[in-house]
Amino acid sequence: MGDVIAFKRPKPQDKHRGNTLCKNGFHKWEVVKDKPFDVKGGKLLTQYRCSRCGAIKSEKR
Protein backbone atom coordinates (compact mmCIF):
# COMPACT_ATOMS: atom_id res chain seq x y z
CA MET A 1 0.00 0.00 0.00
CA GLY A 2 1.02 3.60 -0.51
CA ASP A 3 1.68 6.29 2.03
CA VAL A 4 -1.33 7.99 3.60
CA ILE A 5 -1.29 11.78 3.25
CA ALA A 6 -3.20 13.73 5.87
CA PHE A 7 -5.08 16.65 4.31
CA LYS A 8 -5.75 19.71 6.39
CA ARG A 9 -9.11 21.38 5.92
CA PRO A 10 -8.66 25.16 5.41
CA LYS A 11 -10.09 27.43 8.09
CA PRO A 12 -12.95 29.71 7.04
CA GLN A 13 -10.64 32.62 7.86
CA ASP A 14 -8.09 31.41 5.28
CA LYS A 15 -10.73 30.35 2.75
CA HIS A 16 -12.36 33.80 2.54
CA ARG A 17 -9.26 35.95 3.06
CA GLY A 18 -9.56 39.20 1.09
CA ASN A 19 -12.94 38.41 -0.50
CA THR A 20 -15.23 40.11 2.01
CA LEU A 21 -13.78 43.56 1.30
CA CYS A 22 -14.28 43.15 -2.46
CA LYS A 23 -17.85 41.90 -2.01
CA ASN A 24 -18.63 45.13 -0.17
CA GLY A 25 -17.06 47.32 -2.87
CA PHE A 26 -13.66 47.96 -1.27
CA HIS A 27 -11.36 46.73 -4.03
CA LYS A 28 -7.59 47.16 -4.06
CA TRP A 29 -7.08 48.64 -7.54
CA GLU A 30 -3.69 48.44 -9.29
CA VAL A 31 -2.81 49.66 -12.79
CA VAL A 32 -2.51 46.88 -15.39
CA LYS A 33 0.96 47.15 -16.89
CA ASP A 34 0.47 44.53 -19.65
CA LYS A 35 -1.14 47.12 -21.91
CA PRO A 36 0.25 50.60 -21.25
CA PHE A 37 -2.80 52.33 -22.73
CA ASP A 38 -5.84 51.83 -24.92
CA VAL A 39 -7.77 54.38 -26.97
CA LYS A 40 -11.55 54.59 -27.20
CA GLY A 41 -13.27 57.50 -28.84
CA GLY A 42 -10.04 59.51 -28.95
CA LYS A 43 -9.55 59.28 -25.17
CA LEU A 44 -6.88 57.37 -23.29
CA LEU A 45 -8.14 54.49 -21.17
CA THR A 46 -6.34 53.18 -18.11
CA GLN A 47 -7.16 49.64 -16.97
CA TYR A 48 -7.19 48.71 -13.29
CA ARG A 49 -7.25 45.19 -11.81
CA CYS A 50 -8.12 44.30 -8.23
CA SER A 51 -5.19 42.48 -6.64
CA ARG A 52 -7.52 40.47 -4.38
CA CYS A 53 -10.33 39.24 -6.63
CA GLY A 54 -9.13 40.02 -10.18
CA ALA A 55 -11.99 42.34 -11.17
CA ILE A 56 -11.17 44.78 -13.99
CA LYS A 57 -12.31 48.38 -14.49
CA SER A 58 -11.27 51.04 -16.98
CA GLU A 59 -11.14 54.78 -16.58
CA LYS A 60 -11.01 57.55 -19.17
CA ARG A 61 -8.30 60.14 -18.85
CA distance 37 to 5: 48
| Contacts of residue 56, Cβ cutoff 8 Å, sequence gap at least 6 | 32, 47, 48, 49, 50
SS3 letters across 2-27: CCCCCCCCCCHHHHCCCHHHHHCCCC
Q: Are 22 and 53 in contact (CB under 8 A)?
A: yes
Q: What pLDDT, on the 0 to 100 scale, is given for residue 57?
A: 92
| Stretch 15-25: mean pLDDT | 79
- How far apart, in whole angstroms, are the C-alpha atoms of residue 52 and residue 50? 5
pLDDT tens profile 29-42: 999 888 766 676 77
